[in-house]
């Protein structure tokens, strides 16, 4: 049976997913590949990336692994240069990588962990925007989806470090969306996945019954549908 545009709606498109080794990032990478996109898998964890790539190949999809620590100096710019040498455009960028520091009172934040959260959640986001801006703008309809958290807009006790970095993350993406809106077809979405069964969630809520939470594949299916359907302006959504 030959695949048709309806079964492979993202055929011919190239997508980059950060945090692609596990959780929502991995599930999204698989879903995008199933929809026909060639997916570039970015994470520090080489073995886990290889497992995701194997899963993609098992369903007939294609991918490229890019083992990378987003917080290393010049790492993103090197990745962008390598991708630009192989592809003329980048159609989709999903920012799923995030670092959750220990939950503590604002007065007791551990500086090293807070700095790691800033580097991963904020500084690397700006580096990704800067590095891939040319490729995204050259795409017919480039799309960025950034995954956020409810604590970015609604501060919660003990979540100050993570919430502050996610608030900055949202601000960067919203600012970029406003800057490109009149100059290119590139559009940005900020999506809160809501309570999802992930390792990060388990660390934050160790006593929670994970069986009552939706799986990462539910979020991945919605993100893929959103990319297939398309969106205009700065789009925001919370997945229940």
Residue 162 annotated as catalytic: yes
What distances in angstroms separate CA 219 from CA 126, 179, 186, one per listed residue? 24, 28, 22
Rounded distance between C-alpha atoms, residue 196 and residue 18, angstroms: 18
133 CB-side CA count, 13 A: 14
* Residue 162 near residue 117, CB atoms below 8 Å: yes
φ, ψ at 38 (rounded to 5°):
-85, 125
Residue 128: strand, helix, or coil: helix
Which residue reads 């989806």 in tokens? 145
Active-site residue among 99, 158, 162, 205? 162
Rounded distance between C-alpha atoms, residue 78 and residue 64, angstroms: 16
Residue 141: strand, helix, or coil: coil
- Nearest one of 101, 75, 72 to 203, comparing CA atoms: 101
Catalytic residues: 162
């Amino acid at each position: 049976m030959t695949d048709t545009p309806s079964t492979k709606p993202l055929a011919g498109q190239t997508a980059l997913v950060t945090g692609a080794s596990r959780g929502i990032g991995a599930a999204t990478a698989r879903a995008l590949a199933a929809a026909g996109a060639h997916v570039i898998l970015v994470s520090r964890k080489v073995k886990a990336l290889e497992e995701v790539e194997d899963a993609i190949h098992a369903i007939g999809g294609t991918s490229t692994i890019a083992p990378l620590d987003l917080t290393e100096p010049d790492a993103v710019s090197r990745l962008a240069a390598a991708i630009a040498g192989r592809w003329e455009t980048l159609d989709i960028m999903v920012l799923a990588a995030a670092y959750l520091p220990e939950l503590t009172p604002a007065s007791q934040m551990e500086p090293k962990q807070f700095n790691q959260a800033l580097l991963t959640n904020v500084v690397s986001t700006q580096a990704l925007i800067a590095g891939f801006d040319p490729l995204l703008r050259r795409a017919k309809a480039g799309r960025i989806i950034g995954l956020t958290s409810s604590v970015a807009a609604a501060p919660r006790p003990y979540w100050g470090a993570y919430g502050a970095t996610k608030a900055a993350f949202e601000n960067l993406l919203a600012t970029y969306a406003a800057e490109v809106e009149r100059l290119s077809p590139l559009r940005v979405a900020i999506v809160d996945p809501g309570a999802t069964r992930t390792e990060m969630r388990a660390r934050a809520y160790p006593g929670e019954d994970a069986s009552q939470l939706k799986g990462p594949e539910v979020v991945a299916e919605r993100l893929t549908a959103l990319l297939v359907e398309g969106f205009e302006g700065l789009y925001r959504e919370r997945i229940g």
